[in-house]
Amino acid sequence: MKPDPARYVHGTDAPWDEFQVVGKPHRKVDGLAKATGEAVYADDIQLPGMLHAKTLRSPHPHARIRSVDTARAEALEGVHAVITGADLPTKYGVIPWTPDENALATDLVRFIGDEVAAVAAVDEDTANRALELIDVDYELLHAYLEPEESLERHDPAIHPDNKKGNISKHVELSFGEVDEALERAEAGELTLIEDDYTFHGTTHAPIEPHCAVARYSPDGLLTLWSSTQITHYVHRTLSAVLGLDPAKIRVVQPCLGGAFGGKSDPFSLEFCVALLAMRTGRPVKMLWTREEVFYAHRGRHPMKMHYKTAADAEGRVHAVDAKILIDGGSYSSFGLVTTYYSGQLLTGPYDFPAYRFDSTRVFTNKPPCGPKRGHGSVQPRFAFEVQLDEVAEAVGVDPIEIRRKNFQGEETETVNGQRITSNGFLECLARVEEASGWRERRGKLERGRGLGVAGSMYISGTNYPVYPNDMPQAGIQLKVDRSGVVTIFTGGNDIGQGSNSMVAYLVAEELGMDVAHVRVVAADTDLCPVDLGAYSSRVTFMVGNAAIDAARKLRAQIVEAVAEAWEVEPARVRLVGGRAIDLSDSERSIPTREAFQIAEVRFDTLGSTGSYNTPTLGGDYRGGTIGASPAYSFTAHVVEAVVDEETGRITVENCWIAHDCGRAINPMLVAGQMEGSAYMGIAEALMEEQEVNRFGLHRGPSLLDYTIPTSFDTPELHALIVESVDPEGPYGAKEAGEGPLHPSIPAISNAVYDAVGVRLRHLPFTPGRVLKELRAARESRAGESP
Amino acid sequence: MQNLRLNINGDSVEVGAPSHWTLCEVLRYRLGLTGTKQGCDKGDCGACTVLIDGRPVLSCIHLAALAEDKEVTTIEGLRPLHQAAGGEGCDPVQDSFDRCGALQCGFCQSGMILSAKALLDEVPVPTEEDARAALSGNLCRCTGYTQIFQAIERAACERAGLEPTKPAWAPESSEHEA
Ligand code: FES
Ligand code: FES
């Protein structure tokens, strides 16, 4: 039995047994501001005298810059400054171990769209004209467009300083007796399924293009407003690249128009507007075009994967062996982490007695890949969940049943040393099984219609900050006003997922307040304590725990002061419903505002801080902490798909999404994350592809060519929330924003198998590919029949 | 450069802008009405949707000059217009989006809400198919549209005195509304 959490929070003798705020749907703290157009996004910022900047980009996938001549551009009327790579020579990268990017190319350009020069002018039209007047002399180099080629040769090297040629990162880890199990399979004692799987490249396509505005004040303070999800890392990197004291830099994230991982690197435009503002003494804005957003990319890595799974006659997995080739594009970005994640995050929700992966990330002359929702683990998850269906078929076990059989359990440790706490995966399976009518319908629907299942797990942040340090990973400050308002200062980046609302709900719950009396100031390095950023699904878990920590300290002071004033034991004083009440005397209560004032008299100006740091986690081996999370979320999907055998078109009609988020702090927002994740995954499988042609040119850098789903393309999404109540999560909460993407893709493949009997192992599932598979299946059937 | 006389949210305004500027640019960068968003600047995403004489128009591919002598409504206009008509708070469509969780990053939402508004002005109780059709030019990358459909249904039901469908995530027993 888990402790009743409400009583745990509010005290066992609290006269209410429900949370006051948590677990209920609420408005978002910034909802109406967004609904009315009042919310300010980066490009909405207009400063007096502001200049507009534009970027010159490489037209070649791989070339050496012999010279850049900016004289003609500088001479154009209305141009205030032109900068090139020589002005920003310091290399950087979001992972400090792999600094291989320059804000503007210094010697090599590495993909079509790589940044070469930037211009600040009175308006965008003038800046664009100036770009045409910059003369760049390029020496063309061989372009690597296939990852296999980058494995084989490295002359010319994409990063000449890299000691491993064109290999960005290689990780090989083995746990348990993999070879032994494979030998038993060889000997016929175990079933072995072995196959190749391909995941293509996809990109985030947030509706807001990247934008940054810089102001360099006369006192030498640089302020940068940027559409970033990592304010703190941008702050650090700006300081390093500009050679400025970090105390002279303030980074602010305004309202953000979507990111999904696509705004979690420091980007060229942030350095360019900063330097241009310093050079000109005027504020400078750069807004990327939609085309430029496709070049900035940092999206899903294409992966070529080879998997072997050995299982016994009951369908129990004995060993999994994976070999993965990862196409990283032109820069490292988070690639070191991606390479680990491609293996480390597969060891749940199923128990693997033995597991090995061998992942290699290579550089190619394409837009750089990075973290997209479900970073590094969506691709292997696809491969494995399809393979698990193949195992189920081979041993004659129902696909949901085989997932149940291999369930790893709660409070356990994975084969690679990751600690699992709460685990609601079985309930997830039960929920989608029931809601989809699986037992009655699977395998029994008319030809062309099928059901498919898949499961997954994901991290709620990890204990690996991108630069090693022992300071808290998340911090919160609370400030109390005599009006009864509490203001939360948080470094957390609200990227639309609702993290500002989440902290407001938690503080309101702790202090027994109306959410409307809680204000949030976020993601401003001058005003807010550090949080590492919105990535790895860490925000609810870490910032949420920090908020609770701060609120409890404050609550203790308020309760103590009121108890003293009433001359009663503090245990009798409770904060609830906007009041401080006396549990033993129902006549006695005062509004929270008065309680705040009493406490201010007693303790002086009120405020508190709170923080969160992960416990020591992870396996005792190199890389063992990467992917080690204080809590894992679990998901199961059932997809209902229809295959048109004439056109090869797959239509997903329904997707049941059961997600164990620990606890839904606001179920409405959790459902929104689940639906948004699933829809994005389905689109990756059926509609989207980030690809270059044989010249290295992006195939269609627009929202017309890169087709993200419209309202017509989106299936019925059924969000089923499962709450396992994690022992360490804030009120038991875990992540909800990334996990629910994973199963959508393999579940479609598995549904197609149920519908028409072909296995789709290579993404995307285009009509052409489906037709080819159908034809191959027909031919092999014809070949078999006598 | 040209001088434009525009009717925006009930105000008649005069503004100078380069003659190739779109309505989106004039609204955002001349008039400071930044609630109208720009997601692609080429007619693909719908973030820049405004109403011209009550019909949704993509302001990023609509020359500002073409809007002269027409009634332009932007997202900033809905609340004041609602209040001028005797209502309280925001326009019920805006309110419904907020109460249904339909606003994630919010970047698509001014366009989305205006398209929804135009639909609801024309079809009092739209079906989900009507809603899908009316929003098909407005891309949302965050929500998967589900909560947007729910927001439209709820706004319509509230006006018509009908009961909206409960979302899948809402527990049977409890009041699910924010
Ligand atoms: S900005 Fe107008 S359609 Fe995208
Ligand atoms: S809410 Fe973010 S794009 Fe729609």
Residue positions counted in chain A:
786
- Which residue carries 């959490």 as its tokens? A5
Gap from CA of A344 to ligand 1 centroid (Å): 40
Would you give the DSSP letter of residue A302? P
Q: Do B132 and A668 touch (CB under 8 A)?
A: no
Beta strands in A560-714 (DSSP E): 573-576, 579-582, 585-591, 607-612, 632-643, 650-660
Gap from CA of A494 to ligand 1 centroid (Å): 24
- The CATH code of the domain at B78-170 is 1.10.150.120
Structure tokens at A134: 């910059």
> Which of A655, A711, A712, A714 to mutate to probe the B interface, most B CBs <10 Å?
A711
| Protein residue whose Cα sits closest to atom 2 of ligand 2 | B105
Rounded to 5°, angle at Cα A607 from A569 and A505? 85
| DSSP notation for A761-772 | -BSS--HHHHHH
What is the distance of C-alpha A379 from the center of its chain? 14
Residues of chain A with pLDDT under 70: 1-17, 785-786
Q: Which fold has domain A5-39+471-612?
A: Aldehyde Oxidoreductase; domain 4 (3.30.365)
User: Nearest chain B Cα to A256, which residue?
Assistant: B105
Phi and psi angles of residue A338, each rounded to the nearest 5 degrees, phi first:
-55, -45
Given a contact cutoff of 8 angstroms between Cβ atoms, the answer to whether B37 and A257 are in contact is yes
- A42-141+209-256+263-296 and A373-459+623-784, same CATH topology: no
User: Nearest chain B Cα to A496, which residue?
Assistant: B105
Among A35, A290, A676, the residue with its CB nearest the CB of B94 is A35
Out of B22, B58, B107, B112, mutate this one to test ligand 1's pocket (max ligand atoms within 8 Å of CB): namely B58
Q: Count CB-CB contacts under 10 A for residue A693.
A: 11
The H or E element containing residue A606 is none
Establish how many alpha carbons lie within 13 A of residue A19's alpha carbon, considering only the half-sphere containing its beta carbon: 21
Which burial class, exposed, middle or buried, applies to A188 when counting CB atoms under 10 A from its CB (0-12, 13-18, 19+)?
exposed
Amino acid at A461: G
Is the CB of B101 within 6 Å of ligand 1?
no
Gap from CA of B139 to ligand 2 centroid (Å): 8
Given a contact cutoff of 8 angstroms between Cβ atoms, the answer to whether B17 and B27 are in contact is no
Given a contact cutoff of 8 angstroms between Cβ atoms, the answer to whether A267 and A227 are in contact is no
- Distance between CA atoms of residues A390 and A409, nearest Å: 23
- Provide the pLDDT for residue A2: 46
Q: Tell me the whole-structure pTM to 2 decimals.
A: 0.97
Q: Residue B99: its chain A contacts at CB < 8 A?
A: 27
pLDDT in tens, A61-118: 999 999 999 999 999 999 999 999 999 999 999 999 999 999 999 999 999 999 999 9
Beta strands in B11-166 (DSSP E): 11-17, 49-52, 55-58, 71-73
Between these two residues, A19 and B42, which has the higher pLDDT value?
A: B42
- Distance between CA atoms of residues A478 and A497, nearest Å: 22
Structure tokens at A155: 């002359």
Amino acid at A265: D
Greatest extent of chain A over all pairs of C-alpha atoms, in Å: 95
- Provide the pLDDT for residue B127: 95
Residue closest to B103 by CA, chosen among B74, B142, B135, B155: B142
Kindly state whether A516 is in contact with chain B, defined as any CB-CB distance less than 8 angstroms: no
Q: Residue B174: its chain A contacts at CB < 8 A?
A: 24
Given a contact cutoff of 8 angstroms between Cβ atoms, the answer to whether A114 and A57 are in contact is yes
Would you give the DSSP letter of residue A296? H
Contacts for A514 with CB less than 8 Å, ≥ 6 apart: A508, A578
- Which residue carries 């290999």 as its tokens? A167
The CA-atom distances, in angstroms, between A233 and each of A256, A535, A715, B126 are: 17, 12, 37, 46
- Provide the pLDDT for residue A6: 52
Q: Do A28 and B18 touch (CB under 8 A)?
A: no
Which burial class, exposed, middle or buried, applies to B19 when counting CB atoms under 10 A from its CB (0-12, 13-18, 19+)?
exposed
CATH superfamily assigned to domain A42-141+209-256+263-296: Aldehyde oxidase/xanthine dehydrogenase, a/b hammerhead (3.90.1170.50)
Q: Residue A539: its chain B contacts at CB < 8 A?
A: none
Given a contact cutoff of 8 angstroms between Cβ atoms, the answer to whether A431 and A424 are in contact is no
Domain ranges of chain A: 5-39+471-612, 42-141+209-256+263-296, 373-459+623-784
| Protein residue whose Cα sits closest to atom 4 of ligand 2 | B140
Given a contact cutoff of 8 angstroms between Cβ atoms, the answer to whether A327 and A201 are in contact is yes
Given a contact cutoff of 8 angstroms between Cβ atoms, the answer to whether A253 and A522 are in contact is yes
Please report the number of interchain residue pairs, chain A to chain B, with beta-carbon separation below 8 angstroms: 202
Interface of A with B in 224-243 (CB under 8 A): none
- Distance between CA atoms of residues A611 and A628, nearest Å: 19
Kindly state whether A260 is in contact with chain B, defined as any CB-CB distance less than 8 angstroms: yes
Amino acid at A280: T
Given a contact cutoff of 8 angstroms between Cβ atoms, the answer to whether A678 and B168 are in contact is no
pLDDT in tens, B11-25: 999 999 999 999 999
Structure tokens at A568: 């009663």
- Distance between CA atoms of residues A367 and A109, nearest Å: 11
Gap from CA of B60 to ligand 1 centroid (Å): 5
The H or E element containing residue B155 is helix B146-160
Q: Do B42 and A721 touch (CB under 8 A)?
A: no
Tell me the H-state helices in A331-470.
335-344, 378-395, 399-405, 425-435, 438-441
The H or E element containing residue A152 is helix A147-152
Q: Count CB-CB contacts under 10 A for residue A323.
A: 16
Given a contact cutoff of 8 angstroms between Cβ atoms, the answer to whether A606 and A600 are in contact is yes
Q: Do A719 and B44 touch (CB under 8 A)?
A: no
- Distance between CA atoms of residues A116 and A59, nearest Å: 10
Percent of chain A predicted with pLDDT > 90: 96
The minimum CA-CA distance between A286 and chain B, rounded to whole Å, is 14
Residue closest to A305 by CA, chosen among A228, A359, A386, A257: A359
Structure tokens at A52: 């507009």
The minimum CA-CA distance between A40 and chain B, rounded to whole Å, is 8
For CATH 3.10.20.30, list the domain ranges present in chain B: 2-76
Kindly state whether A31 is in contact with chain B, defined as any CB-CB distance less than 8 angstroms: yes
CATH match of A373-459+623-784 with 3.30.365.10: yes
Beta bridge mates, A199: A303
Termini Cα distance of chain A: 61
Tell me the H-state helices in A187-230.
none
Termini Cα distance of chain B: 48
CATH of B2-76, one of 3.10.20.30, 3.40.50.970, 3.40.640.10, 3.20.20.10: 3.10.20.30
User: Nearest chain B Cα to A46, which residue?
Assistant: B29
Kindly state whether A668 is in contact with chain B, defined as any CB-CB distance less than 8 angstroms: yes
User: Nearest chain B Cα to A254, which residue?
Assistant: B105
- Distance between CA atoms of residues A688 and A669, nearest Å: 26
Interface of A with B in 687-706 (CB under 8 A): 702-704
Ligand located closest to B62 CA: 1
Among B79, B136, B146, the residue with its CB nearest the CB of A710 is B136
Q: Count CB-CB contacts under 10 A for residue A494.
A: 26
Kindly state whether A345 is in contact with chain B, defined as any CB-CB distance less than 8 angstroms: no
The minimum CA-CA distance between A247 and chain B, rounded to whole Å, is 30
State the sign of the Cα–Cα–Cα–Cα dihedral B130, B131, B134, B137. negative
Give yes or no for residue B172 having a pLDDT over 80.
no
- Distance between CA atoms of residues A342 and A337, nearest Å: 9
Q: Do A702 and B110 touch (CB under 8 A)?
A: no
Residue closest to A664 by CA, chosen among A549, A783, A498: A498
- Distance between CA atoms of residues B54 and B49, nearest Å: 11
Sheet with A284-287, strands from edge to edge, namely A79-84, A115-121, A51-57, A284-287, A211-216, A222-226, A249-252
- Distance between CA atoms of residues A559 and A736, nearest Å: 34
Gap from CA of A431 to ligand 2 centroid (Å): 28
User: Residues with Cβ within 6 A of ligand 2?
Assistant: A 207, 258, 496; B 104-109, 140-143
Q: Count CB-CB contacts under 10 A for residue B113.
A: 32
- Distance between CA atoms of residues A452 and A743, nearest Å: 10
Amino acid at A184: R
Q: Residue A257: its chain B contacts at CB < 8 A?
A: 37, 39, 105-107
Mean pLDDT of chain B, nearest integer: 95
Among A25, A26, A672, the residue with its CB nearest the CB of B104 is A672
Q: Do A712 and B136 touch (CB under 8 A)?
A: yes
- Distance between CA atoms of residues A626 and A628, nearest Å: 5
Given a contact cutoff of 8 angstroms between Cβ atoms, the answer to whether B45 and B87 are in contact is no
- Provide the pLDDT for residue B178: 61
- Backbone Cα Rg of chain B: 17
The CA-atom distances, in angstroms, between A394 and each of A192, A351, A405, A757 are: 9, 19, 15, 14
At B167, the pLDDT band (50, 70, 90 cuts) reads: very high
- Which residue carries 């100031």 as its tokens? A521
For CATH 1.10.150.120, list the domain ranges present in chain B: 78-170
User: Nearest chain B Cα to A494, which residue?
Assistant: B105
Q: Residue A44: its chain B contacts at CB < 8 A?
A: 28, 34
